[in-house]
Amino acid sequence: MKSVDSLATPAALLQPEKMTENCRRMQDICRKAGVGLWPHIKTHKTVAILKAQLALGAEGATCAKLGEAEAMTPSGVRRIFMAHSLSDLRHAPRLRQLHSQLDELILAVTSSAHWEVLEKIVAAADIQVPVALAVDTGLSREGVRNVAEARTLAQQIRGSRRLQLVALYTHEGHAYGATSPEEVDQVAARVHAHLIDVREAVGGNLPLWPGCSVTATRMVGREAVTRVRPGSYVLGDLSLTESTQTMDTQQPALSILATVVDRPTPELALIDAGSKVFSSDRSRAGLYARCVDRPELVIQKVSEEHGYLTGPGVGTLPIGTRLRFCPAHVCPVMNLAREVHWVRGSDVLETHPVDARGRSD
Ligand SMILES: Cc1ncc(COP(=O)(O)O)c(C=O)c1O
């Protein structure tokens, strides 16, 4: 068996036991509440990881882009929710093809302006599809901004020959701004109350689909919530462990193995992973990554191919030292990785391609 020591760095390492435990924990909470888990694959973009999620009981998958969905079909997934504003007529043939491959394809309608465009795309694709109406609950990204807009858009969809309104959904990404579990509780309660107001206004007792990695466990069990779509819970990162304290520091399953390549001053070591590995996303404390093996060491600055490693004792690290790092935000990190190595101790068990890497098309 290949050894971790033989891997060139930087390398993405995944501990399958931790990943399975993260999946199982979320799945158990959903199952007990009778809520469907539709993990967002934007986090891992990897067929092997989606397969594990499906094997543990995920009902379907959520994707943002058609390219992601296309890359995930070898997993055997039968049901996909495209939680994005599909708006390019050129996508119609690919949409038709994807629709024909799945048991269920659900699209998003994210505003009245978007609805007009989506009508043309589904007509060009010559398909009829269930759709979920997006509600903005505080992130101020996609979604109807108030109850009146929701009523109008629901009417427009209900008048459509090709679209069937089946749910209200939201992405409450602003929950990542919460600084304590109590604050996340409050955000979750407000988001749910807002969705209930919209639900009453549009009628039809529509099911509610909120639930990102920070809020999902707080959403299951609430009135009318039937599906959640967490993404990063499966791998974990500093935004979940440190910024929102949603996850324990031992839970993240993915780390980046990197090497100390220079030590220009006693206070600074340079590693071979910079923004082209960790992306430009930072944790609330301003970190790009924290060292897993020596948590007092952090990356507070990056250039493209260098991470600036600082902290107590950094001046004694020999060049060539290999260290593992937990990234601030795991989703862009996976999108930048070519492959991910499943490891146990010093053994490399399997190596999988990041199948939907770069598939923002
Ligand atoms: C529409 C939508 N649903 C679900 C998610 C999953 O979020 P998270 O990775 O925070 O769980 C995202 C993340 O951006 C999203 O945009």
What is residue 165's predicted lDDT score, i.e. its pLDDT? 98
What is residue 333's predicted lDDT score, i.e. its pLDDT? 98
pLDDT in tens, 145-159: 999 999 999 999 999
Of 171, 213, 330, best ligand 1 pocket probe by most atoms within 8 Å of the beta carbon = 171
CATH topology identical between 4-10+247-353 and 16-231: no
% residues pLDDT > 70 (the chain):
100
Q: How confident is the model at residue 116 (pLDDT cuts 50, 70, 90)?
A: very high
pLDDT in tens, 8-55: 999 999 999 999 999 999 999 999 999 999 999 999 999 999 999 999
CATH fold group of domain 4-10+247-353: Lyase, Ornithine Decarboxylase; Chain A, domain 1 (2.40.37)
Q: What single DSSP character describes residue 182?
A: H
Q: How far apart are CA 131 and CA 169, in angstroms?
A: 10
* Residue boundaries of the structural domains of the chain: 4-10+247-353, 16-231
CA of 231 to the centre of ligand 1 (A): 6
Q: What is the mean pLDDT of residues 149-170?
A: 98
What is residue 247's predicted lDDT score, i.e. its pLDDT? 96
231 lines ligand 1 (CB under 6 A): yes
Residue 17 and residue 344 in contact, taking contact as beta carbons nearer than 8 Å: yes
What is residue 290's predicted lDDT score, i.e. its pLDDT? 98
Which helix or strand (DSSP H or E) is residue 123 part of?
helix 112-125
Residue bearing tokens 């069937």: 164
219 lines ligand 1 (CB under 6 A): no
What is residue 254's predicted lDDT score, i.e. its pLDDT? 98
Measure Cα distances from 133 to 64, 83, 253 in Å: 15, 10, 33
Report pTM.
0.97
Q: What is the mean pLDDT of residues 99-127?
A: 98
Residue bearing tokens 């050129």: 90
What is residue 265's predicted lDDT score, i.e. its pLDDT? 97
Residue 192 backbone phi and psi in degrees, to 5: -65, -40
Going by C-alpha positions, the residue among 95, 26, 38 that lies closest to residue 63 is 38
CA of 229 to the centre of ligand 1 (A): 7
pLDDT in tens, 231-252: 999 999 999 999 899 999 999 9
Residues 6+ apart with CB under 8 A from 104: 60, 78, 79, 80, 130
Q: Tell the CATH superfamily of the 16-231 domain.
A: Alanine racemase (3.20.20.10)
